[in-house]
Amino acid sequence: MTRIVPFPLALIVTVLTTHPAGADPVGAALFQQNCARCHGAEGAGGDAAEPDIRGAGVTALSRAFGGLNRMPSFAFSESQVRALAEYLSTVAD
Domain ranges, residue 69:
8-14+23-91
In a domain, 71, yes or no: yes
Q: Phi-psi bin for 67: left (phi > 0), alpha (psi -120 to 50), beta?
A: left
Cβ(38)–Cβ(50) below 8 Å: yes
In a domain, 2, yes or no: no
For residue 6, what pLDDT band results from cuts at 50, 70 and 90? low
- The answer to whether residue 36 scores a pLDDT higher than 80 is yes
In a domain, 62, yes or no: yes
Q: Which CATH number characterizes residue 59's domain?
A: 1.10.760.10
E strands present in the chain: 2-3, 73-74
Rounded percentage of the chain residues whose pLDDT exceeds 70: 73
In a domain, 85, yes or no: yes
Question: Whole-angstrom Cα distance, residue 14 to residue 2?
Answer: 26
For residue 93, what pLDDT band results from cuts at 50, 70 and 90? low
In a domain, 1, yes or no: no
pTM: 0.71
Please give the tally of structural domains in the chain.
Answer: 1
